[in-house]
Structure 1
């Protein structure tokens, strides 16, 4: 679960490496990775973290309507191909 949370939220080198290795540019998971011994467990942990997490909006300063994922795995800016 800790690795799943880190995959989704951390900014350290390990999390960046795993996102680069296991995500497509569009933000979707790669279909499979038969060369990885951790990928299946990590996918399950990520799914569990997503299912049991929520945002606390607070002041709203850290929320970005266009770049945050609201209803899908892809941000609105990427979905609509809008360039900032």
Structure 2
């Protein structure tokens, strides 16, 4: 991109006299107002990371099943061009999100991460028993 903007020809290299970082500054700051691809890519990766763990669509469910182990994300690489970019953003997304319980009718007391980590993990409840744990975080009236 830099070659094209500075020389008008993709194949011909010229001496770059303006840094790409300067080109990405706002016009008011002396730049060309171009979008930084690095910033855009970072924002896209954060968005993908958020969607991976919040959406219930097919791609996120499938991909989450590949990268989650005991409700934690794997640290190692897998054969995926997405995961190498997304895994570095998981901590940022986790640190900047929180649960909104509402009435608690939809939040599973044992299996959901409403207290930072699922209680099944905290108390080491075997996975074979997880399908029997159906209690909700719900306000009960007496």
Distance 1:71 1:52 in 2: 12
User: TM-score when scaled to structure 2?
Assistant: 0.49
1:42 matches 2:98: no
- TM-score under structure 1 length normalisation: 0.75
Whole-angstrom distance in 2 between the partners of 1:7 and 1:65: 22
Map residues 38-77 of structure 1 onto 2, 5 A cutoff.
Answer: 38-69=82-113, 70-72=115-117, 75-77=118-120
Instruction: State which structure, 1 or 2, has the greater radius of gyration over its C-alpha atoms.
Output: 2
TM-fit CA distance, 1:34: 4.9
C-alpha RMSD of matched pairs (Å): 2.1
**One of 49, 68, 78 as aligned partner of 1:23:** 68
- Matched-pair contact (CA < 8 Å) for 1:7–1:46: no
Higher RCO structure, 1 or 2 (CA under 8 Å, sep 6+): 1
Structure 2: gaps of 5 or more residues: 1-45, 133-142
